Structure 1
Amino acid sequence: MFALPVLAQDVDTPFFNLDYEITVDKSKLPLSAHVWGKDYIVQTDATVAKSGTKSVLIQKNADNAQFGCIATAIPAVYEGQTILLTGWMKLEGVTDGNVGLLLRIDGANDILEFENMDAQGINGTSDWAKYEIELPLPKDAQTIYVGALNGGSGKLWVDDLKISIDGKDISKATKKVVVELPAQKDKEFDGGSKINAITLTPQKTQDLKVLGLVWGYLKYYHPAIAAGNHNWDYELFRIVPKVLEAKNAAQRDAALLAWAKALGPFEKAPVVKSENVKLSPDLDWITTSGLSPELSTLLTDLKSATRTGSHYYIGLAESVQNPEFKNENPYKDMDFADAGYRLLGLYRYWNIIQYYFPNRHLIGEDWKGVLEEFIPKFVNVKTEKDYKLAALELIGRINDTHANVYGDPTIEEIRGNRFAAEIVAFTEGKPVVTRFMSRDGASVLQKGDVITAINGTPVDKLVQERLKYNPASNQPTKMRNIARALLRSNNNTLTVDYTRNGKPFKATLPTYTKDEIDLKLLSQKKDTCFKMLSPKIAYMYPGTIKNEYIPQFFEDIKNTDGLVIDLRCYPSDFIVLAVGEMIAKGSTEFVKWSNPSITTPGEFSVIPYMELQGRNNYKGKVVVLVNEVTQSMAEYSALTFRAVGAKIVGSTTSGADGNISPFYLPGNVYTVISGIGVYYPDGGETQRVGIVPDIEVKPTVKGITDGRDEVLEKAVEFINKK
């Protein structure tokens, strides 16, 4: 999807210039509007209008441009359940992409709701027509963005946008009564934590480990923090100096006890045992870490404090109930020399995993030991680069393919801002050229060439250096991620050693910026979502599919012997039910998942299994193709199709299923985690394990050299076998 930057809220009255009649001085940009995207013309047009004298024209202006967008930022100060955006669009020759209205709703630190109509496939040529988007209006919304975008070639005109909330025009909508909580009023450390350096000894490292445990436990368990009575980031900066001044564990615990007591008394409630618990809170450290009896008793009593489903720092998504992290300030202007903020980055991430990661039990090591290990790594670094590499390494330790650092300029520069045109994948343990991104002129390399060294460094050494900075659930997916960045650089050329048919060669490869090369080819998307492999075998590619196509497709193939569903991609639509109902023979249990708890942080409970009601429409064999690219929704689809009788062919998938939960670390580090646990109907794990194929087939170097798809060949062989 297209994401807008967080723009200033420069309008605070019901007039938002959404008819685009008023421009800024002599420019052609509408008053109060902002432009996002690159190499698109975005300006008012006085020759075309739905009403009044002007509309906004959005037109591609360079071959490699991705999208152009006009947007207006509106403060989300309105009460209501739903928001409706209507507007008029006129199209001329829109190809190679779609257009749409845009409605995005942001909270304090992340995107809460988003729609750009891309799934509707609006393109071509058409006269003025009215379109609309309706979304829920979250209670914690802070900014509403409205506008339109063009993601293709050709011209888009947009005019006369209107907003209504719960059926009322925004000018008549009821405004919120905003109450500022004590946590929001605390500004003492806006300019820095005042903790510029920390000298570590073994005892101080242990003290900071205990502080990290207690700080996170109080954050999620204490009712006063849940109520927003304390800025818990800033409370950390207040307690750190006292912990550092402590001469022994007894003084440390006394400081922590006084700090916790200052939060005030809390009411206790009877402990109610939860049902269907998959993962229990890890709180044994309260009694096994050698804490003073007084501190241990207070923390133990806090387990039974009265907690509601409302919390200043955590909520649950309305539908799937994955965690929503709230009021986690990204501190985008952080001074990376500030030791307090670096320590906050470690504590924030570690405790989010401790209490709200559904796969904590699958990390593969003692998570508390990881906290102690990383204290020196966060405390002793001084630069932005080293801090963000420490964060990336920490993220990698949870073994979740969803988890990474996304869109960070520092990390992208480390990986390389320029790309060779050659795409490689690890095959038979070697990085093999598999295809090419679109460029003028042919590459000196060929499919099947094996890269052995880059700029004189053996590939095996590069892999070992990069493993800890490439988060993933399992080894095949780590290698997938390493391969994607192997031929990235900040230089104009790369020197590679390679072999072809066993003979060594050397070549210099040019590199290109994102604007100079077609990065979309990295996703391997095909031109069509349906085709016939033979008169009796059909093929479905979900990477470019729409649910509306599926009924007709199954009608067309009802007399075929078999169907291949190629899930070596990310589905462009949620096809689980639409396809699953067509191939299921009856009512079938196909998945279980677990949800977190706000009242018992760290606990995840399994909801009852979900059933699929089959129509028994398709009688042929169904084969699903998977590999390490098969991730998240693609894995969920494969899991479902296997449950209703499909055979899985290929290799282990990425092992990261379930809705994601995003958040920021200090320094504007954006990351996500898998937010719910996803299991087979019998309770078997999918995280890290992935969808294990019924028939394992992996590409070979020879197969790539010969231009064969050996996984697809095996699927066809299975269908043809009588």
Structure 2
Amino acid sequence: MKKYFALLVMLWGMAVFGQKKVQNLNFETVENNFPAVWKTIGSSSGKIATDHQEKQEGQSSVAIESSEVSGFSGLIYKLPDNYLGKKITLSGYIKTENISDGFAGLWMRIDPEIAFDNMQKVGLKGTNDWKKYEITLNLSPENTKQIVIGALLSGKGKMWVDNLTITVDGKEIEEAKVFEKQLTRADLDHEFDGGSKITTTNLDKNNIENIKNLGLIWGYLKYYHPNVAAGNFNWDYELFRIYPKIANASAEQRDQILTEWIKSLGDFKTINYPEQKNIKMKADLAWITDSGFSKDLTEILLKIKTAKREESNYYVTMIPNVGNPNFEKENPYAEMSSPDVGFRLLSLYRYWNIIQYYFPYKYAIGEDWKNVLQEFIPKFIEADDQTKYPLACLELATKINDTHASVRNSTVRNYFGQKFSPLEIAFIENKAVVKNYFDETLGKETGVKIGDIILEVDGKTIEKILEEKSKYLPASNHSARLRNLARELMATNNDYINLKFSSNDVIKNVSAKTYKNTEIKYTQKQPEMFTMLDNQTAYLYMNNIDKEKLSDIFKKIKDTKGLVIDLRTYPTQFVVFDIGNFLMPKPEQFAKFTTTNTTSPGNYVMREGASVGSNNKDFYKGKIAILVNEYSQSSAEYHTMAFRKAPKAKVFGSQTAGADGDVSYFMFPGKIPTTITGVGVYNPDESETQRIGIIPDVEVKPTIDGIKNGKDEVLEKAVNWIKN
């Protein structure tokens, strides 16, 4: 024990001042007309080179130029150290020329999957002179493997970047302390790095019951036992140690083994937790007494319920000032393209228990989550190849009925298809309708017209496709699921897709050519951020919003009759409070939140939420029409909740995606990323938003005739209300 402790002391380390030098942030050191120590990244054929003529300071800058609509080009530099602190800021100067179909920006990423920003929300495009920009990320030094920075150009045009600086908590990076990672016992356990050593699993009724109960107890101990929460055990690998002992055991044997295992985790203190107030959802721990466990096992599990837990947990932390869970410590096992049966069982346990204790809407899933655990045991055990396993992960994620839920990797993409028809589909009047062409030239070549109704794809009816693929389409409600299906209807791995469609009541068939995403020239033009629909009606399109222009815009529209705010998209910038200050005569509460913590995981408490607006006698006094539909999700829903509090505001449109609240990320083993809603968001009266979405004041849906005639019927309804 003394030797082990001495080893820990040596490995734990301290933050020190010595660090490697950060080089060439001003691009003055040049090799072969390219900045030294920097490298290129990107998916387009853009040109990147040193420019000695155009620079913000010194002798040179870097120019990035592209003529391609799709893809991006950029620079990357890996910082030489990991730094101790709370925030890291990258700042620098950018100049742009004729940027379209994308944006220019600085970017910074903290790996693995800790934080990222590429200035996409800023929406820097067009032609702009030199201006300083900055991005700031929250540091997590104990979880960081590397920090990388750079600049990028997405779309067409040209950008220059120069004079970069990096600060940590406001101090130049040269003054920052280097962080030496503190290793716990969990970090030092590498016994199963090469595999779980579990080769077979019996799926008879008795063993499925054992696996289910082990999953319940394993996850409970992970988040409730203080010695596990402290990082004293590699909890993934403890699963591989305990499972072979209880596999195929009788209930009596299993309970005895599990009792002794829990005792081996060490002693802990207990406390009487005060009763929490304003609980929206209680942790589901009734299974401890309802599962028929032995007296000894039940008693020790109940004792752990009262264990004194610290606010820190090795496996989960809570994002400051937000409250959504952060699962950075979950090992992605990136080298495992096809995890063995033990790691697949770990995948199921990991996801299921995260939902059990850290999903704010578990109560709204629509079924007993414990039944889902039992249902998916054979699915994960039998998912024994690189196709079945990711799809099992996606099917599990779909079960939580959350539009934020997702599972993305190449296998999932291949399941739906890597090639696409240039037709944009939307479900209108419960039919799959061609809403537009992504690429006008290629779209017209199909012979299918805007407003035509798709009846079959490759011999399958739309109803049959929905039936087959619904289990792989995560969504909070039916509207969002149809939205997601519409995106995938025209996807295939074949060179042609066979369509049966109705065109003006005439049934037709066509074999339409498909294309890789990079081959489609997306010709649709987005609306301008701001325009006047007429001399009394203003229009804001939130996908192009620029907060720096808002003051001038509201001066221009001060005396207009009405303002349309189009949120049938995702806002590129978070401007809830910026715009809210122009719309409100006084502060108005528009949302409440639920969060949990690491001392009482699964108990979600309702807390006071956010207010928008300020005391402002010069607020905008015209009517405000807010447009929403199934594409209004998350931030769009949050903006709508705030803006509808304005005195003369109404929401027009249809059911939104029903997924509000900050997103939490983690990985299935095999480095398969997934997301969930991490914070509960409610109306001020504590009524639901999840799954239900935003309920419009005036329900308006597009019609097939409207699509054929190029009408925006939702916008027309809103404008008529403003005028009348």
Q: TM-score, normalised by structure 1?
A: 0.92
Q: 1:333 aligns with which of 327, 332, 335?
A: 335
Q: 2:706 aligns with which of 684, 703, 706?
A: 703
Render the CA deviation track for 1:606-646: whole Å, top value 9, x for unaligned.
11143233435222222211111111011111122223342
Against the structure 1 CA distance between its residues 548 and 158, is the aligned structure 2 distance closer, same or farther, given a 3 Å change threshold? closer
Question: What does 1:530-679 correspond to in 2, within 5 Å?
Answer: 530-614=530-614, 615=616, 617-645=619-647, 646-679=649-682
The residue number in structure 2 matching 1:411 is 412
The residue number in structure 1 matching 2:528 is 528
In 1: Cα distance, 2:138 partner to 2:23 partner: 21
Q: Does 1:467 align with 2:460?
A: no
Against the structure 1 CA distance between its residues 12 and 64, is the aligned structure 2 distance closer, same or farther, given a 3 Å change threshold? farther
The residue number in structure 1 matching 2:78 is 73
Q: Does 1:688 align with 2:691?
A: yes
Deviation of residue 134 (structure 1)? 4.3
**Paired residues of 2:223 and 2:229 also in contact (CA < 8 A):** yes
> What's the % identity of the aligned pairs?
42
Q: 1:715 aligns with which of 702, 711, 718?
A: 718
Render the CA deviation track for 1:268-300: whole Å, top value 9, x for unaligned.
112111122111110000000011111111110
- What SS does the aligned partner of 1:101 have? strand
The residue number in structure 1 matching 2:301 is 299
In 2: Cα distance, 1:478 partner to 1:130 partner: 42
The residue number in structure 2 matching 1:314 is 316
In 1: Cα distance, 2:455 partner to 2:368 partner: 36
In 2: Cα distance, 1:178 partner to 1:457 partner: 55
The residue number in structure 2 matching 1:507 is 510
The residue number in structure 2 matching 1:258 is 260
Render the CA deviation track for 1:423-469: whole Å, top value 9, x for unaligned.
11111111000001124352411111000011122221111101111
In 1: Cα distance, 2:97 partner to 2:277 partner: 58
Deviation of residue 538 (structure 1)? 2.2
Question: What does 1:85-104 correspond to in 2, within 5 Å?
Answer: 85-89=90-94, 91=96, 94-104=99-109
Q: 1:14 aligns with which of 21, 26, 29?
A: 21
The residue number in structure 2 matching 1:488 is 491
Against the structure 1 CA distance between its residues 96 and 429, is the aligned structure 2 distance closer, same or farther, given a 3 Å change threshold? closer
The residue number in structure 2 matching 1:8 is none
- What SS does the aligned partner of 1:384 have? coil
Against the structure 1 CA distance between its residues 705 and 379, is the aligned structure 2 distance closer, same or farther, given a 3 Å change threshold? same
Against the structure 1 CA distance between its residues 187 and 21, is the aligned structure 2 distance closer, same or farther, given a 3 Å change threshold? farther
The residue number in structure 2 matching 1:202 is 205
**Paired residues of 1:102 and 1:117 also in contact (CA < 8 A):** no
- What SS does the aligned partner of 1:388 have? helix
**Paired residues of 2:73 and 2:152 also in contact (CA < 8 A):** yes
Render the CA deviation track for 1:588-621: whole Å, top value 9, x for unaligned.
2211111111110101111114323343522222
In 1: Cα distance, 2:335 partner to 2:609 partner: 45
In 2: Cα distance, 1:503 partner to 1:550 partner: 49
Against the structure 1 CA distance between its residues 256 and 16, is the aligned structure 2 distance closer, same or farther, given a 3 Å change threshold? farther
1:354 is matched by which residue type in structure 2? Q
The residue number in structure 1 matching 2:41 is 35
Q: 1:356 aligns with which of 355, 358, 365?
A: 358
Render the CA deviation track for 1:471-516: whole Å, top value 9, x for unaligned.
1000111011001110011111111000012110111211111111
**Paired residues of 1:20 and 1:31 also in contact (CA < 8 A):** no
In 2: Cα distance, 1:499 partner to 1:346 partner: 44
Render the CA deviation track for 1:85-144: whole Å, top value 9, x for unaligned.
3445555554554333323223xx3132535376162652646x6654444433433321
In 2: Cα distance, 1:563 partner to 1:125 partner: 28
Against the structure 1 CA distance between its residues 708 and 100, is the aligned structure 2 distance closer, same or farther, given a 3 Å change threshold? closer
2:259 is matched by which residue type in structure 1? L
Deviation of residue 58 (structure 1)? 2.0
- What SS does the aligned partner of 1:59 have? strand
**Paired residues of 1:97 and 1:123 also in contact (CA < 8 A):** no
Q: How many residues align?
A: 701
Q: Does 1:436 align with 2:437?
A: yes
In 1: Cα distance, 2:40 partner to 2:314 partner: 32
Against the structure 1 CA distance between its residues 167 and 684, is the aligned structure 2 distance closer, same or farther, given a 3 Å change threshold? closer
Render the CA deviation track for 1:333-382: whole Å, top value 9, x for unaligned.
21526100111111100000000000000000000000000000001121
Against the structure 1 CA distance between its residues 693 and 134, is the aligned structure 2 distance closer, same or farther, given a 3 Å change threshold? closer
- What SS does the aligned partner of 2:569 have? coil
Q: Does 1:149 align with 2:152?
A: yes
Deviation of residue 320 (structure 1)? 1.1
1:66 is matched by which residue type in structure 2? G
- What SS does the aligned partner of 1:555 have? helix
In 1: Cα distance, 2:163 partner to 2:714 partner: 51
Against the structure 1 CA distance between its residues 249 and 16, is the aligned structure 2 distance closer, same or farther, given a 3 Å change threshold? farther
- What SS does the aligned partner of 2:127 have? strand
Against the structure 1 CA distance between its residues 63 and 212, is the aligned structure 2 distance closer, same or farther, given a 3 Å change threshold? same
List gaps (5 residues or longer) in structure 1.
1-10
Against the structure 1 CA distance between its residues 166 and 569, is the aligned structure 2 distance closer, same or farther, given a 3 Å change threshold? closer
In 1: Cα distance, 2:251 partner to 2:641 partner: 50
List gaps (5 residues or longer) in structure 2.
1-17
**Paired residues of 1:330 and 1:669 also in contact (CA < 8 A):** yes
Render the CA deviation track for 1:195-249: whole Å, top value 9, x for unaligned.
1221210111111000000000000011111111111111111111111142x11
What is the alpha-carbon root mean square deviation over aligned residues? 2.4
**Paired residues of 2:44 and 2:68 also in contact (CA < 8 A):** no
Q: Does 1:114 align with 2:117?
A: yes
Against the structure 1 CA distance between its residues 193 and 445, is the aligned structure 2 distance closer, same or farther, given a 3 Å change threshold? same
**Paired residues of 2:114 and 2:328 also in contact (CA < 8 A):** no
In 1: Cα distance, 2:706 partner to 2:68 partner: 34
In 2: Cα distance, 1:622 partner to 1:20 partner: 48
In 2: Cα distance, 1:38 partner to 1:534 partner: 40
Q: TM-score, normalised by structure 2?
A: 0.92
Question: What does 1:208-247 correspond to in 2, within 5 Å?
Answer: 208-246=211-249
Deviation of residue 309 (structure 1)? 1.0
In 1: Cα distance, 2:106 partner to 2:270 partner: 50
- What SS does the aligned partner of 2:411 have? helix
